[in-house]
Structure 1
Amino acid sequence: MYPKLHRILFLDDDIVVQKDLTWLWKIDMDGKVNGAVKTCFGSFHRYAPYMNFSHPLIEAKFNPKVCAWGYGMNFFDLDAWRRKKCAEEYHYWQNLNENRTIWKLGTLPPGLITFYSTTKPH
């Protein structure tokens, strides 16, 4: 994916940019793939509601109390993405969820799964 690019900013279609975002390129990602905005407030936006924690693979690998992050503005380090094989990880989980027993709908759950340990919250 974009072999000549090192970083990319992903903005959802409902995001309104109101100031210069070039400072994002100076962020030290600490080897993480995804820079994202934490969206936890109390029990809101934890991993628990997004996936089936009675599924043995989910129960064994993820913590339901971990803070989720917004998927509307993400800063991706594509070099780290390639090293950590994130596309392959995403497709692996998509294939496992073919019968929708891991999560029901949406793009946030597979993103949360793929970038579980590779997100730097801001």
Structure 2
Amino acid sequence: MELHREKEFVSQYHYDARNFEWEKENGTPETKVDVNFQLINRDEENQATSIVVILNYMIVFEAFVVSGVISQVNHIIGRIVDEPSEFSQEEVEELAAPSLAMLNRLTYEVTEIALDLPGINLEF
């Protein structure tokens, strides 16, 4: 799959200390990482499809939670895509890789500063 990628865009990144009293009444947060796709253009003449990869995440640790949204526009060259379900698991991983790398980098840097310890690397 030939891709032309635009720069990743961090819409939201939150680092929140866990509030266990609040969690007793409202429930414990759960780790969730979702990758979604939004079609923005199908250029049949040039055989290209433009999509936005949207990474929504909440990752729960013992003492804190990171959550937010990272997105990236990808232009798929030489292929028309009608539905995201057409992507293989390997293609989904390839499309999501830069956003996941950005999430890992942000989490490493923020936890290094916030905890005054070596940063935390996420495993995907």
Per the shorter chain, which TM-score range? Answer: under 0.3
Relative contact order: is structure 1 or structure 2 higher (C-alpha 8 Å, sep ≥ 6)?
1
If each structure's strand is expressed as a fraction of its own residues, which one has the higher value?
2
**Larger Rg computed on CA atoms:** 2
**TM-score, structure 2 as length reference:** 0.24
